Structure 1
């Protein structure tokens, strides 16, 4: 599998999101700090509480992750996304870009598959989440798999996850899993340093503003007191300035697992892969099974489900 390993960037790159370029100043851009999964659950939980995230390096078997990546792209090849004749594990984008609508239809099938469910519920991850959540962990049925084509301006605006999970507990843990290597220039997740405190403050303000709303409106990320689409902002450079903090970036590898707080503000940047590789990832959410579950997340992910 060594031929599939993508060289990780070590210098501060030029990153773009929402048509803006992130500042590379030391006080505006930094690096996420990885965690060795063998340090023990207490130390991992302490880091998560302190920083709002924990980046578990090589937690999963990289070969298994790359094999699953190949399985996904093998199916997406049916939409013309993959360069004909190339190894699907590479995720080498076809020159024509393929049929996006057909690709989305295929993804909607893949997230309902036994293979995908098995990948998300693999024993090591399930056992870890039981321990991390101090009880039996519940994996939300609504699970998302995203692909981003190279050269596309597509990037996820800044947000925190609890905005979309108001119908249940606030003790949610998101696991973001890169499906294959995601060097910095391919636009993986970026985190606003210290923003789990900012997210809590925003959530408190939204709750106060929503006191007069109906129960249905209060849980919606699209109610009249929320920002557009539930986003905090599409302007990442402005956010770093406004909160006087840094965006934290990383070059992720197959096998890495990122856990983050439901209050942690995060976003993605554009995929500017010079090797014309497609970024692929999945984000899934856990909670203790004894806590209240948002019923809207008890259905499979569907495009346009407004979550």
Structure 2
């Protein structure tokens, strides 16, 4: 059985979650667990949890085996960049000993997100039907979609942010779906969410709008305007954020087939990939909205290195 087909339950080896050089578990009351949701409870109940918590973690929503096979398809292609250890099963996603050029890998990923296979993965019938019902109308899937990989043993971690910073040119009723492509236990550096932060993000956005009336229309929608932190991030210091807002970072052991839905105001980040089996983290994030709401025109183009989003 391939590594990516195994569960990680029973692995008792201790580790500390790290993000940008900071240990998240310095205070036990600042770290907690995400709450999983059974998709079978129905869309109305799922929508209620989403609105209440700012996220919903749908367990086993997609067929597990198909997700793992898609992982193999992606890494099979990325093997051409030197990313994968020679002679290993692409579904396992074992990193090569020597890291290839990261921008070259990203360029290859940007080719893959233009493919029919990737589009089919994102538009599976169950997902399409669910999002229509969830958004109470015809759902629109943004053309700009991102697929990310993270090597084990690197310090790469996405700083804390909320998504509307990068989508201000359209509606605020955007829903992000983050999909782990393969198992992503906590030690592999999946997403972590700041508990209750959808309210914090909404307040930050209101304050931004109140303070920045002098910005040009182009600057107001840009995450790189002169009145924002680098790249639109809220912070790189996750433990300090939990203290500042008197809340917790919530983590999970994600499995192939799970999907996360989160509010555009929900503050989230990633942690460092510390996988002992040298597995690469692979995930995709895609965004939906009701087709009748205003669409940010910048997201009508494919993901590219120079799109400043």
Tell whether the structures are fold-level matches, with TM greater than 0.5: yes
Corresponding residue for residue 297 of structure 2: 295
Structure 1 residue 65 corresponds to structure 2 residue 60: no
Please give the per-residue CA displacement for 1:91-116, whole angstroms capped at 9, x wherever unaligned: 00111123323312211110111111
Please give the per-residue CA displacement for 1:264-304, whole angstroms capped at 9, x wherever unaligned: 00000000000000000000000000000000000000113
Corresponding residue for residue 50 of structure 1: 52
Corresponding residue for residue 74 of structure 1: 76
Residues 153-162 or 103-112, more deviating: 103-112
Structure 1 residue 167 corresponds to structure 2 residue 161: no
3-state SS, counterpart of residue 212 of structure 1? coil
Tell me the TM-score normalised to structure 2 length.
0.97
Superposed counterparts of 1:68-147, under 5 Å: 68-147=70-149
What is the aligned length? 307
What runs of 5+ residues in structure 2 fail to find an aligned partner? none
In structure 2, do the counterparts of structure 1 residues 97 and 203 end up closer, same or farther at CA, with 3 Å as the change threshold?
same
Please give the per-residue CA displacement for 1:11-46, whole angstroms capped at 9, x wherever unaligned: 984011111111253320000000000001111000
What runs of 5+ residues in structure 1 fail to find an aligned partner? none
Q: Please tell me the root mean square deviation across aligned C-alpha atoms, in Å.
A: 1.4
Please give the per-residue CA displacement for 1:243-270, whole angstroms capped at 9, x wherever unaligned: 0100000010000000000000000000
Q: Is the 8 A contact 1:79 1:100 kept in 2?
A: no
Q: Is the 8 A contact 2:175 2:288 kept in 1?
A: yes
3-state SS, counterpart of residue 213 of structure 2? helix
